[in-house]
Structure 1
């Protein structure tokens, strides 16, 4: 208590307390947290870009070699630096440990995820950023003596800042950080909503300033032209198709998770096996390599029939689940968007549409909502990432994918929430 009292005696906080506006000392704390998270996220992204360009030079059979060696390196990092945890552990800590995330896992998570993502694993940087920046919030809160819901809100604000930095959507990032912690289909920690928005906005500003990313859409989709009531009918149908893909994803996950869990081997052996398998898949189909951030634009213009896109979707689903199950580190949101876009191209051969981008976006939303159980924030995120002007029909697809998804969740700590 003495620490927090002395902290708030700072002239900045005294001034904020006496100002006639809604700005408060708490607002300043959340903005400061977002600024710090934005700096870290930008540095992480710059390092990731450098490593990716370095390792992308290996082509042909060398892909198998470099991904196998990367798997060994990932496993050794985890073996010597400690288990970095995963999103299920983060959710458990938020819900059952008062929001405390341990920063001691950050070195292992940072290094293993950088190698995992840059070498071509089918997982993205969103999960590492969420966990690391969330632990910043937790550490910051403890240092100034916060407890209870105030500490939890600071941790969630840190998570939202990391997520927003990558996706460029303060609204979507804040909602995702809350929705993924869901309890019985609602945002449980609503008191953290404004803190999450504040930290997200400041993190996004810093991230844009330090990187060369613009504020336009990430993926260059043809603009969706809204129609009539039939758009909602199509959206529900596409949502059902996305849910079917989600069931396939979950089935393959159960197989890969069971297979690797039964291996009584050190972590570095499992990650090496995972790297070998991922390398073989990437050698056969290069579009399965990496987490899909750049590859998704290629899907929009790639020529192919339903056999090609159906095979690509299955191989990408397999690659994502091998990445996760073998111990490689990273997040699955952008990879799931990639799977949804590929599935959209698959269904185009059977259900031709004048609004092809609408079909793709609906499948992207429903597949991700089916697996991550985040239908609301998924819709908001896709609005910014694809530049869609009318997202209401997409919400129908997202909700359809969510409610028709497997009750047993991919993220195990959501099991009592659905």
Structure 2
């Protein structure tokens, strides 16, 4: 230790002068942000829950009540083709005629939403609810974050003008992520990742404090109202062995490579749909293709995939390796088509289904692969490729099994998977159609 201190004293580059230390933010500066953060958190969660509940009720009408009244099989090939094409027509009509056109092209958006004008938000909410009810393979996260960001900025700037304008989008994003996952941990990880490399004013925790308060309020509201859980109740992994480590490394890497195939195809598939020109052609065409894919993969490959993941996890040995492989490929193709053809939605939840099916396929092929290891590693690799969000990918994969031993395996498995995806094109395009890197 004395040798180290002597080296520090002699090497100026290793010193940390007091004048270079970032001063902490006084508590009196942070305190006024708590109430706005809590309000944003509660409102963001209630909006997410309201849209989800409305879409779920409409889904029951479309996929249960209506086919039963008509005497048609709920998930017959005919009904899936009709419903997904009709969903494309409905969403296309919203994009075409509703003021604001349901926001920007979803192929150009991610979790870090831009501030949209208030006139855009109703159409975006309507398009999202129709999508969730109709069956395309997208989740609610991207549009719900965009709506909450727009509302928070518009209302916050209007009624609390003393708050910095840039604070409202940060609060809304954190609150919505907390609400989506039912815990502020996911939001804290995303915030810290977003702040990496920025020149911060004060310590990291001072910068995270207001968004974390919003995320906590959003998560708690969701937990109290809806009682969500991501734990799939997979067979418990005991003490991991070398075989489990090898399985996690291989499955996560292969899942990342499979996800990158969809990422590479993304601009080409989107370009093919865009050649149709009008949203009343582009989005219904996407719905028709989604109907054909559903006919191939079955009803489990419909919708955002969270409930369907639970159905797979309840019986990991209930399908053959071939069936799991078909569901993996079909769901990934459905995610690619839905994201390319103009449906408003996010990619995290369907990617979780793809990773789960991929991991269970590995378990079915090699009995030595523990189902929990296969699922968590598959989800990790797929999310890394599709979202390029390291912390979200690791967190989502870890909570599926709720195991401390699994977390250690996933941390190691994330390293080669990240090397396969980092620096390469993302599943998000610029306005000119070129991939974001």
Q: TM-score higher than 0.5 here?
A: yes
The answer (yes or no) to whether the contact 2:191–2:208 under 8 Å persists in 1 is no
Residues 1:163 and 2:182 are matched in the alignment: no
Match of 1:227 in 2: 240
Match of 2:121 in 1: 106
For 2:350 and 2:112, the matched residues in 1 are separated by: 24
**For residues 127-166 of structure 1, what are the alpha-carbon distances to aligned partners after superposition, in whole Å with 9 as ceiling and x for unaligned?**
122111122232244222257xx43232122012112212
**For residues 265-299 of structure 1, what are the alpha-carbon distances to aligned partners after superposition, in whole Å with 9 as ceiling and x for unaligned?**
31021111111111222233222111111100222
Structure with the greater alpha carbon radius of gyration: 2
The answer (yes or no) to whether the contact 1:142–1:151 under 8 Å persists in 2 is yes
What's the TM-score once normalised by structure 1's chain length?
A: 0.83
Residues 1:258 and 2:271 are matched in the alignment: yes
Match of 1:120 in 2: 135
Deviation at 1:177, TM superposition (A): 5.6
Following superposition of structure 1 onto structure 2, how do residues 16-415 of structure 1 map, counting pairs within 5 Å? 24-57=31-64, 58=67, 59=74, 60=76, 61-81=78-98, 82-85=101-104, 86=106, 88-89=108-109, 100-143=115-158, 144-145=160-161, 150-176=164-190, 179=193, 192-211=207-226, 213-214=227-228, 216-228=229-241, 231-263=244-276, 265-284=277-296, 285-300=298-313, 301=315, 303-353=318-368, 355-390=370-405, 391-405=407-421, 407-412=424-429
**For residues 27-56 of structure 1, what are the alpha-carbon distances to aligned partners after superposition, in whole Å with 9 as ceiling and x for unaligned?**
222112111112212212211221121222
Q: 1:182 to 1:401 in 2, by over 3 A?
A: farther
For 2:221 and 2:410, the matched residues in 1 are separated by: 30
For 1:256 and 1:87, the matched residues in 2 are separated by: 11
Deviates more, 1:60-69 or 1:383-392: 383-392
Match of 1:9 in 2: none
What's the TM-score once normalised by structure 2's chain length?
A: 0.80
Q: 1:266 to 1:313 in 2, by over 3 A?
A: same
Q: Secondary structure at the match of 2:306?
A: coil
Deviation at 1:21, TM superposition (A): 8.8
Q: How many residues align?
A: 387
Q: 1:296 to 1:71 in 2, by over 3 A?
A: same
The answer (yes or no) to whether the contact 1:137–1:155 under 8 Å persists in 2 is yes
For 1:222 and 1:91, the matched residues in 2 are separated by: 32
Deviates more, 1:32-41 or 1:400-409: 400-409
Unpaired segments ≥5 residues, structure 2: 1-25, 68-73
Match of 2:6 in 1: none
Instruction: Give the RMSD, CA atoms, in angstroms.
Output: 2.9
